[in-house]
Chains A and B, each alone.
Chain A
């Protein structure tokens, strides 16, 4: 193999890894984006109190719970939009300062350190 061919193959290999990684992520996300069919005349909380009581309890005790920032704020309404894993972007609408310098920690998103429901700091 010529030097050029080797180099091309190496680049192609890296690209394949990156694309497949992206593809997998995308496929996973597509899967994750579906919320089971629900009765949209009831609120998220009415059902989730029964199906995920621990999560609701964690949330209730958190600052978000005290302020009643409901499920929909991070996860979407479940009908028009649904995010199983919410993005950090949503946080930035209120947490407009940068209390933590994320650069110091490396590849961080808010939920890398904060539990999404209790909001407690974890490693």
Chain B
């Protein structure tokens, strides 16, 4: 914890002395940080999409400690290593404390007035000369819902461009596409509560142990208490998640679609399908037309275990065993994340997972769900629900829908003609447009695209040439290097707002301390910029975070993600609420589409016709089983580039490490990047552990230390992506899913040699 060495010595000496005098000492009683003078505030972890509850210890106006919130049902007081060190990040030396403008190539400290006037003038002149689409916004799944809401209104409602994106495009867009096409509406049917009721877990494209540690802990506990619980992993790499696996299939990166089809085929052939559920609740489609169940079965005929084995490299008998595990379990929960989403066929991969649940009827029941894990703490809440992407409007609305535009324009108090009916530029297209000079000014908020974009070096041209404003809590980052203006943003605990995590749960975070230096809350930075750009009438009314939240939740009224009952007053007391929560006396919803979901309960009887589940986002309430072709990665391996390169995360760091890099303990735990290579490959290439090697792809090369380990399969290389110094994203591919526009970070072709 944040004790100095001196304090520590004092504390242990006092404890020992007290002990020698025979005084009883309760753990922590002699503690500096857990002393009575420390005030504890209920909040939420700043890192991953799990959404753990934390208690923030404050003393004399400073954040001094963090502990798990034992009343929060997500984590019941536990934290992973990242959440554990949150308080240290608040006072990191790398905090940005003053606005700065780059003059003659050097950042110079300026006043807020000067900075905001300068940005407003530049944005207005770009807008006047080149039109609204020459401006863009690039936000974050870490921004609060209130912050994204303000940006949305400024860009889509006032400036009049839909060039408004956020980094969830790079991590969750395929999951959105999957839910919309399979079930009709975005976000999961169930919640974390299903973990304690599931008999079988399929973890696919997810290193749950390192990326969602507290959920992993819940799965471990479930298995420990019920040894019959089985765990199947489908992932190209062995990870710490394997500690609890019963069966692991190792497909070549990007070749898992055929496996999922083969599993569906076995499930049907061996009688594990729930024919009644299918008859009542499911329709079948391929990319062009509706199919009958028979036609779907015909489609699956190609996907024999042998075919899938040949395609993926996984033994046929393992695929059969995996299908039987899924089929035989009374309840089944699938979880996935980037390994499925960050693919050129990410939406299809999402569909094929949900297919298994729809075929077996293992959805909508306790312990059953097709459950996408979110990477960022507010990707679901702020960006998916808040409508922070180029085709969306708040509360699961679309810019294409005239009724939606009207509803939003009315609440925003702007002419409906301001909101363009055509989606703006998605992330990759946005950075292409910056390169080409079609976009001339961009506001980047709480994210680090110069390091996190795929094929990152390619997009630096636009960042160098165009007018770039970066609002950040940390400095420098890979992106601030290219900024013309940097604005210091208040950090977690220095602002209030709401985060919405993986399980549809919105949680309130209080402002506990004053922002460091001159840092300001992003929502007010945007408000003040908007006023200076001439949108006084539209923005001056927002005086508090609650003003913004209240307006936002008014837009959710009557929608599938109704948050009207989640007022600040209520959120301040409870450990979050899971939507739909249509009124202040509604407890929130455990399962969607079934009894207990207010939208289901309100459906007229004639519509439901006695059905216990009704996917009300789809015609006739029927979900879709998709017959998607199996397709491999965009860039398969070949003679020149014989390895599949995949990237990912380690437990101790998060994204571009602007936060975890500020914690000495976490740096110490994993101080640098490395490439994992299988011992067989290493031997062949005469690479020893800790040798310096060079990895090359068609886009770039990287010198890095080798870690010879049997985690990746032969033929696969793995590199964690957190470090700017070893920027693996200069090598990744920027090809993207044509549906979700999410890039294929998870696989490209590479070669490796000793440096």
Contact = CB atoms under 8 A, between A and B. Distances in A.
B664 A94 contact: no
A80 B21 CA distance: 33
A16 interface: no
B28 A70 contact: no
Interface string B24-56: 111110011110000000000000000000010
A67 B213 CA distance: 7
B671 A96 contact: no
Interface string B2-29: 0111001101110111111111111110
B28 A92 contact: yes
A89 B31 contact: yes
A55 interface: no
Contacts of B542: none
A21 to B, nearest CB: 6
Nearest to B54: A93
Contacts of A26: 9, 13
B664 A80 contact: yes
Interface in B68-96: 68-70, 77-81, 84
Given A25-B17, A76-B665, A91-B27, A70 B80 contact: no
Given A103-B24, A107-B24, A44 B671 contact: no
Given A25-B16, A42-B671, A94 B9 contact: no
A43 B707 CA distance: 13
Interface string A67-85: 1111011001111111101
A78 B684 CA distance: 37
A78 B668 contact: yes
Given A41-B672, A79-B668, A90-B1, A29 B69 contact: no
B1 A93 contact: yes
A72 to B, nearest CB: 4
B8 A72 contact: no
B13 A29 contact: yes
Contacts of A41: 671-672
B220 interface: yes
B66 interface: yes
Interface size range on B against A: 35 or more
B405 to A, nearest CB: 47
A85 B19 contact: no
A83 B8 contact: yes
A68 B28 contact: no
Interface in A91-123: 91-98, 102-103, 106-110
B240 interface: yes
B9 A21 contact: no
B77 A95 contact: yes
B669 to A, nearest CB: 5
Nearest to A89: B31
A77 B536 CA distance: 50
Interface string A6-28: 00000000000010011001100
Nearest to B2: A81
B67 A96 contact: yes
A58 interface: no
Given A70-B652, A109-B25, A109-B27, A85 B12 contact: yes
Nearest to A85: B12
Given A68-B240, A102-B26, A110-B27, A43 B9 contact: no
A44 B77 contact: no
Nearest to B210: A68
Given A29-B12, A81-B664, A93-B84, A67 B217 contact: yes
A73 to B, nearest CB: 6
Interface in B204-221: 209-210, 213, 216-217, 220
A30 interface: yes
A106 B27 CA distance: 11
A22 to B, nearest CB: 5
A42 B669 CA distance: 8
B65 interface: yes
Interface centre among A22, A83, A88, A98 (most CB of B within 10 A): A88
A73 B81 contact: yes
B298 interface: no
A18 B21 contact: yes
A70 B68 contact: no
A26 B15 CA distance: 11
A14 to B, nearest CB: 9
Contacts of B24: 102-103, 106-107
B180 interface: no
B33 A89 contact: yes
A77 B67 contact: no
A108 B24 CA distance: 8
Most buried by B among A67, A69, A89, A92: A89
A51 interface: no
A33 B6 CA distance: 10
B571 interface: no
Contact of A68 (B12, B67, B651, B664): B651
B23 to A, nearest CB: 8
A30 B5 CA distance: 9
Contact of A25 (B5, B12, B27, B65): B12
A21 B672 contact: no
Contacts of B19: 107
A29 B9 contact: yes
Contacts of A102: 24-27
A79 B651 CA distance: 21
Nearest to B22: A107
A72 B664 CA distance: 9
B25 A94 contact: no
B574 interface: no
A93 B26 CA distance: 15
Given A87-B31, A92-B67, A93-B68, A70 B9 contact: no
A87 B8 contact: yes
Nearest to B88: A80
A1 interface: no
B84 A94 contact: yes
Interface string A39-68: 011111100000000000000000000111
Contacts of A33: 5, 9
Contacts of B5: 33, 81-82
B667 interface: yes
A97 to B, nearest CB: 5
A89 B664 CA distance: 19
Contacts of B68: 93-94, 96
A3 B265 CA distance: 97
Contacts of A109: 15, 25, 27
In this complex, which of B12, B81, B220 has the most chain A Cβ atoms within 10 angstroms of its Cβ?
A: B12
A93 B16 contact: no
Nearest to A18: B17
Contacts of A66: 220, 243
Closest 4 CB pairs of A and B: A77-B668, A96-B77, A72-B665, A77-B664
Interface of B: 1, 3-5, 8-9, 11-13, 15-28, 31-34, 55, 65-70, 77-81, 84, 209-210, 213, 216-217, 220, 240, 243, 651-652, 664-672
27 contacts: A21-B16, A25-B13, A41-B671, A66-B220, A68-B210, A70-B81, A70-B669, A72-B668, A77-B664, A77-B667, A78-B668, A79-B664, A80-B664, A81-B8, A87-B3, A87-B12, A89-B11, A89-B31, A89-B34, A94-B78, A96-B67, A96-B77, A97-B70, A107-B18, A107-B23, A107-B24, A109-B25
Interface of A: 18, 21-22, 25-26, 29-30, 33, 40-45, 66-70, 72-73, 76-83, 85, 87-98, 102-103, 106-110
Given A25-B17, A43-B671, 16 more contacts: A21-B17, A33-B9, A40-B668, A41-B671, A66-B243, A67-B217, A70-B652, A76-B665, A87-B3, A88-B28, A89-B33, A90-B1, A92-B34, A95-B77, A103-B24, A108-B27
